[in-house]
Chains A and B, each alone.
Chain A
Amino acid sequence: DTAVSQTPKYLVTQMGNDKSIKCEQNLGHDTMYWYKQDSKKFLKIMFSYNNKELIINETVPNRFSPKSPDKAHLNLHINSLELGDSAVYFCASSHLDSYEQYFGPGTRLTVT
């Protein structure tokens, strides 16, 4: 009965590879988010989707491409991985304009 789930939990890959991280929520929310937390624990929003439409797109390299096949899923595909992409990526969901965002457990990406 997990609310926001992410797969995989850990991802170790080499520079130049392409990888995807998946997120699913079963809370009936209409808005989903991707955040990046770097090695210093600094947490920053990357993208947000509402009803499968992109509504927030921060200054993120276009190697990162989010995809929302339906309201309950938001996946993050990363092309040509770089060392600086190593971080923990958190997915979150909420109702639009709700005060509360629910976070997933995170995916720790390590690029070697």
Chain B
Amino acid sequence: GEDVEQSLFLSVREGDSSVINCTYTDSSSTYLYWYKQEPGAGLQLLTYIFSNMDMKQDQRLTVLLNKKDKHLSLRIADTQTGDSAIYFCADSIGGATNKLIFGTGTLLAVQP
């Protein structure tokens, strides 16, 4: 079945850039997403990229997609302590069901 993998933990200093990586197995992905989960909260959609794009920039966020290697990354510029959270990438198995397959989540810890 579909599989989405992420590294479990990333620690950066405030002001540095963070890069969170994700690999997926499904070749028929339509959209790929990044969600943020703060402690005790639900998931918030940060950004998404359509599978025919290779880059998307949205303020401090840059998403890179390498479809050949099935690799997705999220870069956060000028990381702040408020960015500390778990980040999930998700793969959309489209068609009629819009089913999301989530990665294992990466805990981003921002040190002041």
Which A residues fall within an 8 A CB radius of B?
Answer: 4, 31, 35, 40-45, 48, 55-56, 90, 92, 94, 96-106
By a CB distance below 8 angstroms, the chain B residues around A42 are 102, 104-105
User: Are B48 and A100 in touch, CB under 8 angstroms?
Assistant: yes
Query: Nearest CB to that of A6 among chain B residues?
Result: B42
By a CB distance below 8 angstroms, the chain A residues around B43 are 43, 90, 92, 103
User: Are B42 and A106 in touch, CB under 8 angstroms?
Assistant: yes
By a CB distance below 8 angstroms, the chain A residues around B31 are 99
A48-B97 contact in complex given A42-B104, A42-B105, A90-B42, C-beta closer than 8 Å: yes
A41-B42 contact in complex given A55-B96, A99-B92, C-beta closer than 8 Å: no
Q: CB < 8 Å: which of B33, B97, B101, B105 contacts A41?
A: B105
User: Are B88 and A103 in touch, CB under 8 angstroms?
Assistant: no
Chain B contact residues (Cβ within 8 angstroms of A): what range? 20 to 34
Query: What secondary structure prevails in chain B residues at the interface with A?
Result: strand
CA distance A48 to B92 in the complex (A): 14
User: Are B45 and A100 in touch, CB under 8 angstroms?
Assistant: yes
For B37, B42, B105, the residue with the greatest tally of chain A CB atoms inside 10 Å of its CB is: B42
Let me know if B111 is at the binding interface, CB within 8 A.
no
User: Are A96 and B42 in touch, CB under 8 angstroms?
Assistant: no
By a CB distance below 8 angstroms, the chain B residues around A105 are 41-42
Let me know if B7 is at the binding interface, CB within 8 A.
no
CA distance A99 to B34 in the complex (A): 12
